[in-house]
Amino acid sequence: MLQKIYDWIDDRIDITPIWRDIADHEVPEHVNPAHHFSAFVYCFGGLTFFVVVIQILSGMFLTMYYVPDIENAWKSVYYLQTEVAHGQIVRGMHHWGASVVIVMLLLHTLRVFFQGAYKKPRELNWVVGVLIFFVMLGLGFTGYLLPWDNKAYFATQVGLEMAEQVPLIGTQLKILLAGDATIVGAQTLTRFFAIHVFFLPAALFGLLAAHFILIRRQGISGPL
């Protein structure tokens, strides 16, 4: 049945080359943990992506309950945590996943660094990777404020002070982030929410696409 549906579509729009191009490629022996167990270090990039998928899915579902408004943000999170079945688990996935993403990202970076895999011709992909790292930190920073509890509020206060230390444009940068010159409040929360769920994920998707296209074009670096 499934085969028939697939054939029907494939007859008309020839999708086989599309997924073959994405999925069907050789895994060199030196990156296959079945051959050399130490090759598990090559898994960290994929694991980072896997956790990112978890973050995207759990985040999408969390917005069904969350409201980015200073009157209701904390209450909606509390309601989700205490009244909604599995709400605690989904928020837990997003909360812990945020940390795991950074850990995996760091391990992936260390592997690439110590194997010298960033060297010519892959310097550009290293740069893209560093940009992804910055976007991830931005996602962590903006997401931290959203529960609108004391920890979130004061952490953001500190983060904004740090932004203010940037030479020349510090003050403007801080106002741009906070939405107000002095208050960390209603406008800050909506801004951080918008950055967290629209702007940074959009940037992340673009950078991830570039990262993956480059690795497919250039191939995995050779054995040490």
Partner 1 sequence: MSDEKQQVSRRQFLNYTLTGVGGFMAAGLLISPIRMAIDPVLKGSSGGDLANVGLSVDDITADPQRIDWSVDQVDGWYESEVSRSAWVYKNDNDEIVAFSPVCKHLGCIVSWEGSEQHPNEYFCPCHDGRYYKDGTNVPGTPPLAPLDVYEQEVKDGMLFLGDVIPQGEA
Chain contacts with partner 1 (rule: CB under 8 A) = 53-54, 57-58, 60-61, 64-65, 72, 75-76, 78-80, 83-87, 89-90, 93
DSSP one-letter string for 80-113: HHHTSTTHHHHHHHHHHHHHHHHHHHHHHHHHHH
State how far the alpha carbon of 193 is from the alpha carbons of 11, 28, 139, 141, in Å: 45, 42, 10, 11
User: What is the identity of the amino acid at 178?
Assistant: A
User: What is the identity of the amino acid at 173?
Assistant: L
**Which is closer to partner 1, CB of 61 or CB of 118?**
61
Least distance from C-beta 134 to partner 1, angstroms?
27
**Which is closer to partner 1, CB of 45 or CB of 59?**
59
**Which is closer to partner 1, CB of 53 or CB of 169?**
53
C-alpha atoms less than 13 angstroms from C-alpha of 9 in its C-beta half-sphere: 9
Q: Please provide residue 47's backbone torsions phi and psi, each rounded to the nearest 5 degrees.
A: -65, -40
**Which is closer to partner 1, CB of 53 or CB of 183?**
53
DSSP, collapsed to helix, strand or coil, labels residue 33 as: coil
CB 214 within 8 A of CB 125: yes
Least distance from C-beta 102 to partner 1, angstroms?
20
Least distance from C-beta 83 to partner 1, angstroms?
8
User: What is the identity of the amino acid at 36?
Assistant: H
Least distance from C-beta 76 to partner 1, angstroms?
5
**Which is closer to partner 1, CB of 57 or CB of 131?**
57
Least distance from C-beta 217 to partner 1, angstroms?
26
**Which is closer to partner 1, CB of 86 or CB of 216?**
86
Least distance from C-beta 24 to partner 1, angstroms?
13
User: What is the identity of the amino acid at 15?
Assistant: I
Q: Which residues contact 77 (CB under 8 A, 6 or more apart)?
A: 65, 66, 91, 146, 147, 148
DSSP 223: -
